[in-house]
Structure 1
Amino acid sequence: MTRDTQGRGWTRGGGLPFARGLVALALVLGCSTTATPSASGEGGGPAEGVDEGEEHAPAIAPPDVPLPDVPVTYADELANVDARIAAIRHRAQALTPSWVTLETLTGALLERAQLTGDYDDYAAAEEALEEAFALAGEGTGPWMTRARLHFTLHRLDAADADLDRLSERLLLDDRQQAAIDGLRADIAFQRGGYGAALEDFLRIAEAKPGVTSLARLATYRWKTGDFDGADALYKRALEEYDGQIAQPRAWLRLMRGLLDLDRGRYHEAYAHYRNAEAELSGFWLIEEHIAEIRARLGEPAAAMDLYEDLIVRTRNPEFMDALADLKEEAGDAERAAALRKEAREAYEALLDRYPEAAAGHALGHYLGRGDAPARALELAEANHTLRPNGEAKILFAEALLAAGQAAQAQQVIEDALASPWRSAQLHLVASEIFAARGDAERAASELAEAERINPRIAD
């Protein structure tokens, strides 16, 4: 979710859709590839009576990559995945038990999880993997599939270990080696190893050009401040994708919108979101960004209607927080408090179940509330330990500042500033930290840089 309670215009912590989407791309493109899962995303399109904003859509030039004549619906996409899962289960029951069949089942379950964001789907995939490894012989098994699952759930060490086991095989074809190299580069990026990640991203994109390699490189360009370069790569990936599954096209269009959001280009972001919706109608991940941008464009009533519907369909605590902010601004403090209480309970339940995957998401809640700085710092440190990339460093520094540890916050933010990571978020938080440290000159300089990247960052 991308609505921050302090109006900064940056993403609530915990794993952006690009991380989830890269794995989804690998899956659907046949490599076994929408942050990590959220709460359940089951459901069809918007509830009856919800204004989808046709009359409010910005007057923007037509999309530079043509849209489909008729959008695929989320319900249809989900039904197709479910039909494949049922067929694989039927085949598994009819044939002699095989870990290969169970790996195929796991891939379909992961595809469903990427679509729904439902932790139950990830649990089902883990169960199928356990059965597969129980059947596999010594030294064999679905190592790559499990490595991808671990990566999605932010278990980077476990993903590395599985890749090591897979690499021990004497015979790996080019496709398998490319998959290993790509995931290792993704892991390096999440750990802040930007030089190694970029080297591998470029090498893979040259040796095996395709949608996934282009999207990986686009993500790197985005997070290191080359917004135009990132957009060109996402556009190229969108042009090259020729698959039948709609989610990758919708995800690529969504990423282009998030690029514009990071630069404060709200109308352009909205146009990309609506293009994504034209690819995959009723997809909760797109609709939550439409709700957020409508709030930013001064349409709180429409945004609240959308969030109400999304909460009913998904029970996602991030949407509860977003609606709580809007309700509070509208004067409904009682409903806002109830939503925040429910969101906190949901986050803590998710942390009990999947601590690595949920840490960053829950951290956004605690930082936004500001009422439990010790808990926020605990989560921020855990999140940073798991994946010390630029986003995690920024959140860790902010949590340290909120906990009254400005000197330590400066050390962390200096590390982030010394890295290739570049965002308005980074420079805004740096400005706050330097101001707290009494360095008015650096605070002003960092704020100016934040506003250069995103003129609306401090609105």
Structure 2
Amino acid sequence: IDRAIGEIGPLADLYLLKANLDFRLHRLENADRDVQALARFAGNSQIIALKAGIAFQQAGYEEAKKGYRLAIEKNPTWDNLARLAYWESKFGDIELADKLYGQAENEISAKEMRSYAWVELERGLLEFNRGRYQKAAAHYDQADKAYSGYWLADEHRAELLEAERKFDQAVALYGRVVGRAPQPEFQQALGDLFAFMGKPDQAKP
């Protein structure tokens, strides 16, 4: 991307692409510089949301909240609504977070069912964290119906089964998740579960 910018000039879309990539890779200083290069487009909702995301990652939580709200005022897309919902889930009103996630779902098109499933998982996580396991499971089921075979839905289900002390089922599901998405945190979760079950030999990689 840097090479392309050097060759054809700082086109706004290209800088926005670079800013989003830097943000996702947690290169926050680079992302902040990218956003500054887009200063004349500062009223764009995508740039506002990105600046808010950078502020959130840098512990500027109130600044982030203001940015998320402004982005929604400019353009109430599902992802802007979901960002504010996530903020509320961490620092504000859980019921409002769920309401915002519900509004986000209403903005998702039929071509974006993976996004719909992700939002359902977030709503399920709100219930899970409050010990409402049946309601959490209902959201996880809805996510799977929307986007069948979604490995992240299986990971959430495995966590729920573990909380319900259905350890053998949780192990089987974690194993399936690790087979499809061999990320360290999932391998660690499976290993920790084996250790908790008193099966340390199986916890070894």
TM-score (ref. length: structure 1): 0.42
- Please state how far the C-alpha of 1:207 moved relative to its aligned partner: 2.9
The AA in structure 1 aligned to 2:132 is: R
Partner of 2:7: 135
**Conserved? CA contact 2:82–2:101, under 8 Å:** yes
The AA in structure 2 aligned to 1:189 is: F
1:338-387: CA deviations, max 9, x gaps?
Answer: 23xxxxxxxxxxxxxxxxxxxxxxxxxxxxxxxxxxxxxxxxxxxxxxxx
How many residue pairs align between the two structures?
Answer: 204
**Residue 148, structure 1, aligned to residue 5, structure 2:** no
Aligned mates of 1:224, 1:282 — CA distance in 2? 32
Partner of 1:158: 30
1:250-281: CA deviations, max 9, x gaps?
Answer: 11101101111222222211211111111111
Q: Any idea what SS the aligned residue of 1:192 has?
A: coil
- Relative contact order (C-alpha < 8 Å, sep 6+): which is higher? 1
Q: Any idea what SS the aligned residue of 1:244 has?
A: coil
**Residue 325, structure 1, aligned to residue 197, structure 2:** no
**Residue 222, structure 1, aligned to residue 83, structure 2:** no
The AA in structure 1 aligned to 2:118 is: W
Q: Superposition pairs for residues 169-248 of structure 1, below 5 Å?
A: 169=40, 172=41, 177-248=44-115
1:3-29: CA deviations, max 9, x gaps?
Answer: xxxxxxxxxxxxxxxxxxxxxxxxxxx
RMSD (Å), alpha carbons: 1.9
- Please state how far the C-alpha of 1:213 moved relative to its aligned partner: 2.0
1:296-317: CA deviations, max 9, x gaps?
Answer: 1121111111111222222222
The AA in structure 1 aligned to 2:61 is: Y
1:310-335: CA deviations, max 9, x gaps?
Answer: 22222222121111122223332112
Aligned mates of 1:223, 1:287 — CA distance in 2? 23
The AA in structure 2 aligned to 1:201 is: Y
Aligned mates of 1:264, 1:155 — CA distance in 2? 35
Q: Name stretches of at least 5 consecutive residues in structure 1 with no aligned partner.
A: 1-128, 340-459
1:46-87: CA deviations, max 9, x gaps?
Answer: xxxxxxxxxxxxxxxxxxxxxxxxxxxxxxxxxxxxxxxxxx
Aligned mates of 2:57, 2:77 — CA distance in 1? 21
- Please state how far the C-alpha of 1:293 moved relative to its aligned partner: 0.5
- Please state how far the C-alpha of 1:249 moved relative to its aligned partner: 0.4
**Conserved? CA contact 2:171–2:190, under 8 Å:** yes
1:103-161: CA deviations, max 9, x gaps?
Answer: xxxxxxxxxxxxxxxxxxxxxxxxxx245335323x44611111111111111111000
Identity over aligned pairs, percent: 38
The AA in structure 1 aligned to 2:16 is: M
1:404-432: CA deviations, max 9, x gaps?
Answer: xxxxxxxxxxxxxxxxxxxxxxxxxxxxx
**Conserved? CA contact 2:84–2:100, under 8 Å:** yes
Match of 1:292 among 159, 162, 171: 159
Match of 2:150 among 283, 291, 310: 283
Partner of 1:104: none
Aligned mates of 1:316, 1:207 — CA distance in 2? 36
The AA in structure 2 aligned to 1:164 is: Q
- Please state how far the C-alpha of 1:204 moved relative to its aligned partner: 2.3
- Please state how far the C-alpha of 1:182 moved relative to its aligned partner: 1.2
Aligned mates of 1:259, 1:199 — CA distance in 2? 22
Q: Which has the larger radius of gyration?
A: 1
Q: Could you say if the C-alpha distance between residues 325 and 201 of structure 1 is closer, same or farther in structure 2, counting changes exceeding 3 Å?
A: same
Q: Superposition pairs for residues 236-315 of structure 1, below 5 Å?
A: 236-315=103-182
**Conserved? CA contact 2:48–2:70, under 8 Å:** no
Q: Runs of 4+ in structure 1 displaced over 6 angstroms? A: none
Aligned mates of 2:66, 2:184 — CA distance in 1? 37
Aligned mates of 1:208, 1:140 — CA distance in 2? 22
Aligned mates of 1:193, 1:291 — CA distance in 2? 33
**Conserved? CA contact 2:158–2:169, under 8 Å:** yes
- Please state how far the C-alpha of 1:243 moved relative to its aligned partner: 4.3
The AA in structure 2 aligned to 1:324 is: G
Which has a greater percent of helix? 2
